[in-house]
Amino acid sequence: MKLRKISVYLLSATFLFAAPVAQGFAQTENPAQTQNKDAAAKPADAGKLSPKQLAAMKKLDAVSEEGYAAVRGIALARLAIFQGKPDEAKTILTAVRQNIEKAQGNTASLADKLTQANSPKDEIDAVKSGQVPIDFAVGINDDYTMTPENAKHLENANKHLGSGKTQEAVEELKLANVNVSVTETDAKLPVLAKVVATALSDLDNKNYYEANLTLIKADDAITSRSITEDEPASKTPGTGTTPAPAPAPAAKPAQ
């Protein structure tokens, strides 16, 4: 069994590459034996998506590109500070602030996409308040034998991806014993806006290290969660990490 996680934007390329390889291996199998084996092993609903998988597939295009650019820019600004380029950091953060403003202006459009995808009301309300999806990580968990049938499912998945039919593509992949999981990363734009404003003020006052500490707080505005598995929401580092406190020294034995 192999587990791979890729960006949602690379999903199509991965399957386009995988299908010809699968077909090449398939030629070494006995078609009659492998097709009978696969047919017996798969339940009738093998290709059906779970409710969470179905909901995740419908949300993949509800991504704030400006929000993603803002988070990436914060990381680059911190790097510029430690490279001794405070003016460059200031330029980057000015662009970040503009991206955040654009992302906040597009929340209504994202909320409409989630509404069309039948997303829960609390998720739609969160987007309207400024907590927006900035990325979807697509995990590929495959545990299959290269057979003519599986190669055909991969070929069909490629066709569906090329036509923009994501749900149908994932159903074909499930039939080939390829399971798809999706992890969503969100950013709270109002929090990021305050962090960037404070960091720019720090840079204006030549408080460069303080600006770095301020930017680290952007991590608190970034969260990730699985939207296809029953897993609790978890925080993921976004632009930096706060070091854990050092353990207390062990007490010395009495002399």
Taking the C-alpha atoms of 159, 162, 165 and 169 in order, what is their torsion angle to the nearest 10 degrees?
50
162-181 pLDDT, tens digit each:
877 777 777 777 666 667 77
pLDDT higher than threshold 50 for residue 132: yes
Range of lowest pLDDT (47-51, 186-190, 221-225, 234-238):
234-238
Task: State the pLDDT at residue 182.
Answer: 82
152-163 pLDDT, tens digit each:
877 887 887 787
Amino acid 36 reads N
- Can you tell me the distance from the alpha carbon of 132 to that of 17, in angstroms, rounded to the nearest whole number? 32
Q: Taken in order 89, 91, 93, 95, is the CA torsion positive or negative?
A: negative
Q: pTM for this one?
A: 0.66
pLDDT higher than threshold 80 for residue 125: yes
pLDDT higher than threshold 50 for residue 4: no
Amino acid 134 reads I
What is the total residue count of the chain?
Answer: 255
**Which pLDDT band holds residue 246 (cuts at 50, 70, 90)?**
very low
- Which strand (E) or helix (H) includes residue 219? none
pLDDT higher than threshold 70 for residue 48: no
Helices (H), the chain: 11-26, 31-41, 51-59, 65-82, 86-105, 107-116, 121-128, 148-162, 166-175, 189-204, 208-216
- Can you tell me the distance from the alpha carbon of 25 to that of 19, in angstroms, rounded to the nearest whole number? 10
In the chain, the percentage of residues whose pLDDT exceeds 90 is 42
pLDDT higher than threshold 70 for residue 12: no
Task: State the pLDDT at residue 229.
Answer: 61
**Which pLDDT band holds residue 254 (cuts at 50, 70, 90)?**
very low
Task: State the pLDDT at residue 61.
Answer: 82
**CB-based contact 142:174 (threshold 8 Å):** no
Average pLDDT of the chain is 75
